[in-house]
Structure formats: C-alpha cells, structure tokens
Amino acid sequence: MAIKNDVAFVIRRIDFRESDYIVTLFGKEVGKFAGIAKGARKSDSKFGGVFDLLNLSEIVYYGSSGLDFISEGEAIRTWEGIRKSGEAINVGLRCARSVDRLLEEGGREKEVYDLFKQTLSSLDQKQEEARTLELAFYLKLFYLLGYKPELERCTKCGKTMEGESRLLFSPRDGGVVCSDCGAEEGLAISGGLRKNLIKLLSLPPTQVRRLKLSSELIEKSFLLLEKFGQYHFDRKVLSDTAMGRGAVKF
C-alpha cells in the first residue's frame, strides 16, 4: 500500500468499534475520502484532537481498496474563534455537511476546498455574521458545482431584471423569471432580495462578513436556496437546522 499525505478538513466522524473513528476528510489534493483511525478514541491516543470536526489537519494514510488507513495526523487549524460561538460552530458544521452530501468520493474540487477554507477563516474572525456567511457559502458552492442561479436576466427571454418590480424565482428554470414570461411555479422575490443575492454570490467571504442583512431577507434567501438545491441536486442539501427559524411568507 502506498503512503499518501494531504492537508484535509474533517467533515464527518463516526465512532467505530470500541476505540476507532471512521472519518470523512476533504483534502486539498485528493478531494473527499474516508479513512479509519485506529485507537483514535482512546484517552491516550497519539491523535489527540486531530479529528475534531472542522479541524484542518495534515494527514498521513495508506490507500486501500476499502477504507484508507490513517497512520498519522496533526491539527494545523482548530478555529478557536468559531468554537466560542454556538451559532458559528453550527454554521461551520452545516457547511461541512453540505460538502459531504454534494461531493463524490475522490472528487478533486480545489475551488470548493478554497471556498470552504475562506468561509471558515472569515467565520473564525467574525462570528456575528455567521448566517450571512453561510448563505453566501451555499450560493457559491452551487455555482462551483455547475448550478449558478441566474439572478440578472430572465431565464426565459433573457431580459435584464434591472427595474423589474415583480419577480419570480423558479428553481425549475434556474433563476429569475420576468412578469411577462411567468413561471409554472416559483417564489415571489423583491428587487432588493435579488440584488443582495448578487452581492453574496460575487463578493469574497472577507467582504461578505461586512454585509448587514435583515433576518427576514436571510430567511427568505435560505428558503429559496433550499428549493433550488433540492431541485437541481435531487437531494436534500440544506440541513433542517439551517431552516429552523420558522415558516417564511413571501
């Protein structure tokens, strides 16, 4: 078995047998992969807290036809700022879960890796805007995986949406639809919501965290993205806890 190493995020961890972990890692070079860490749950384990969720760790492992065998590990970043805030840690965990749900094992998504790292770095520095950073993360993740919501032009006729007072966002059509074209199904959204989504999609996480969005706008945006992700990926993308602030009326 060949010895391999990578710098990877811990995005999932499962207790296995009496003292082991099965961990899902998201590496910079090899992408998403799963491995077993023997004895990692023991109090005197050589791994210590290497496999705490969200940690960025340097991993040495042996590739195999089944689970890889993890032989060494060292935590590089543990995000102490994130861990001071319950909301921030939950946002980080939900982002990790969405990466796990949408990426295939072995998929080398370096841009997604960079996005995840930048999001956690921004969250580590400014926990107060955790929900805004989470919203931007999902928008950019969908884009990087080939499903960018169209927000600037009608997805049916191509007309610019600037100045449109009545808009529908249609997951089936892939974005906004003007009032002339209509849509079989969709969510009514305001011009302000559309413009803020464009900002979230275009700005880097370091600038996203400076935006001040109302809680109502954030919750409406999450509902919109939940339906968009469900339709295009044919699976649940956003966690229930991301949508857990009550029903949203448009």
Provide the edge-to-edge strand list for the sheet that holds 187-189: 175-178, 167-170, 187-189
Q: Does residue 122 fall inside a structural domain?
A: yes
pLDDT at site 210: 87
Q: Are residues 22 and 52 in the same domain?
A: yes
CA distance 222 to 139: 10
Q: What is the DSSP pairing of strand 31-37 with strand 68-77?
A: parallel
pLDDT at site 164: 79
pLDDT at site 248: 37
Q: What is the pLDDT along the chain (250 residues), one digit of tens a residue?
A: 688 999 999 999 999 999 999 999 999 999 999 999 999 999 899 999 999 999 999 999 998 777 899 999 999 999 999 999 999 999 999 999 999 999 998 878 999 999 999 999 999 999 998 999 999 999 999 999 999 999 999 999 999 998 877 789 999 999 999 888 877 778 899 889 999 999 999 999 989 988 989 989 999 999 999 999 999 999 899 988 776 644 433 3
Q: Does residue 249 fall inside a structural domain?
A: no
Q: Are residues 64 and 89 in the same domain?
A: no
Q: Does residue 214 fall inside a structural domain?
A: yes
pTM here? 0.92
pLDDT at site 249: 38
Q: Are residues 117 and 226 in the same domain?
A: yes
Q: Choose the final residue of a domain: 77, 105, 129.
A: 77
Q: Choose the final residue of a domain: 77, 94, 122.
A: 77
CA-CA-CA-CA torsion sign (88, 89, 90, 94): positive
Where do the H-state alpha helices sit in the chain? 86-102, 110-125, 130-144, 191-202, 205-208, 215-233
CA distance 215 to 124: 21
CA distance 79 to 81: 5
CATH code where residue 61 lies: 2.40.50.140
pLDDT at site 243: 67
Q: Are residues 117 and 67 in the same domain?
A: no
Domain that holds residue 174: 82-243
